[in-house]
Chains A and B, each alone.
Chain A
Amino acid sequence: MSGTIFTFTKPKIRSTTSQLTLSERVDHFLARWGINRSGHRVEPGLYALGSPIPESPVFVTANYTLSFDALRSSIPGIDCYILVLDTKGVNVWCAAGKGTFGTGELVNRISITGLAGIVSHHVLILPQLGATGVSAHEVKKRSGFRVEYGPVRASDLPEYMKTRSATPGMRRVHFTLVERIVLFPVELAKVLPYLVIISAVLYLASGPLAAAGAAAAVLAGIVLFPILLPYLPTKDFSSKGFILGGLTALPFVLAAYQYGIDDAMWLHLVRGLAPILVMPPVTAFISLNFTGSTTFTSVTGVRREIFIYAPVMAWMFALGIVLLVILTILRLTGW
């Protein structure tokens, strides 16, 4: 693709506000639960917030409603333009990692919207986390626009705009309790249908204890793990998950061990062994997958974790399932 795109119609500028309506808040809630996952989109293009003039700043964001709304609701009273890139309904950081919030789309969107003819300056303020997909010097070369990386969080923008510089704190990502908690509904919604089926099968095959054990192991990984992340010992997510899963399994070990007072000792031991073999690897597996949602784990480290812990998880789980099957057969044959 080369050459200039000539447009004879005036580029469309939509208008927006800093207020969030009730239906937009409902949309955010649904997005958090993963309902209509890829449908929370804003039309890409140029938006006017307030009454911008050619000297007004231009902010760039993704076409995910949570991203766009976080931006516009953070800057009430700032007359500006908002350039929304087509990231297929994905947030800035994830889209930048995939390259959809990227140099190519940015340069393309500048050209489609005719931005150079609308503003007198050639400066774009991007969220810092967009830098993973955008090469500032490439953008300058290809569009003439200078990329300025604003703070990580839109909520710091009013402060940033006073001096056009970010404090060290504004440049750091964190992973606060609230930031971790908002992540689990989407995971919960994803596994809940499977969990119901698995628990039902276990209930029929082995009884209420096994069904509750499955639910406990999964919920420990999805709900407790994100909350307890910084407090669980060790650095690896898998080992943290094994510890959490082990603690979760303890009451089940005791309950299973005590089951059937008159039974032989070895039967008590096998029953007690099953939950400690099956449950921790389930929790650890879910915990390991949480690395994909965090703001700090490196691919190299996660790959190393998988290499070390995946065999342990697989063997423990398989052995535990074998024990469960044996126990079920024994029970059905009248032991």
Chain B
Amino acid sequence: MVTMFDSYQSNTLHYDPEKCINCGMCSTVCPHAVFAPGDKVAKLVDPISCMECGACQMNCPTGAITVESGVGCAYAMFYAAITGKEEPTCDTGGDPCC
């Protein structure tokens, strides 16, 4: 029952502590406290809460974190699912969506 109606039990967040220099940026920028400061390296404490915004990857100076981030616009994904075309990113050509 728990897994049946929960599509959010895994995501694309990947953390390689080997590369971490403990700068603390990931725990600073994460809006869901997925990372926490550690003694020697950052700790991945709540990976399930990751919304794949990409802020940690963007601000990790050593590339220790990777995540496939996206806008998450369901309309765009529906469109892609129906037409078989590539998912468009939000078209900012004058009309901001989301």
Contacts and interface: CB of A to CB of B under 8 A. Distances in A.
Interface of A: 37-38, 88-90, 94, 96-98, 100, 128-129, 131-137, 149, 152, 166, 168, 171-173, 234-236, 239, 288-289, 291-293, 295-308, 310
B74 A236 contact: no
A97 B74 contact: no
B58 A131 contact: yes
Given A97-B71, A98-B90, A301 B11 contact: yes
Contact of B71 (A88, A98, A171, A173): A98
A97 B53 contact: yes
B81 A235 contact: no
A37 B58 contact: no
6 contacts: A136-B59, A149-B29, A172-B32, A173-B31, A236-B5, A305-B74
Contacts of A310: 78, 81
Contacts of A299: 52, 68-72
Contact of B31 (A135, A171, A293, A305): A171
Nearest to A233: B5
Nearest to A243: B5
B96 A89 contact: yes
A288 B7 CA distance: 12
Interface of B: 5-8, 10-12, 25, 28-33, 49-55, 58-59, 61, 68-75, 77-78, 81, 89-90, 92, 94-96, 98
**Residue of A134, A173, A302, A303 ringed by the most chain B CB atoms within 10 A:** A302
Contact of B8 (A98, A135, A297): A297
A121 B81 CA distance: 50
B26 to A, nearest CB: 10
A135 B54 CA distance: 10
A236 B89 CA distance: 23
A274 B71 CA distance: 35
A235 B31 contact: no
Contacts of A172: 31-33
A236 B58 CA distance: 28
Nearest to B82: A310
B7 A171 contact: no
A182 to B, nearest CB: 15
Contacts, number: 135
Contacts of B54: 97, 132
A292 B72 contact: yes
Contacts of B10: 300
B5 A234 contact: yes
Contact of B7 (A152, A235, A292): A235
Contact of B74 (A152, A166, A289): A289
B8 A136 contact: no
**Residue of A166, A300, A304 ringed by the most chain B CB atoms within 10 A:** A300
Contact of B11 (A137, A173, A300): A300
B74 A291 contact: yes
B31 A295 contact: yes
B51 A298 contact: yes
B14 to A, nearest CB: 12
Contacts of B94: 38, 88
A90 B72 contact: no
Nearest to B12: A300
B55 A132 contact: yes
B29 A128 contact: yes
Given A131-B59, A292-B98, A90 B92 contact: yes
Nearest to B2: A235
Contacts of B31: 128-129, 152, 171-173, 295
B77 A306 contact: yes
A149 B28 contact: yes
Contact of B33 (A37, A132, A168, A304): A168
B50 to A, nearest CB: 6
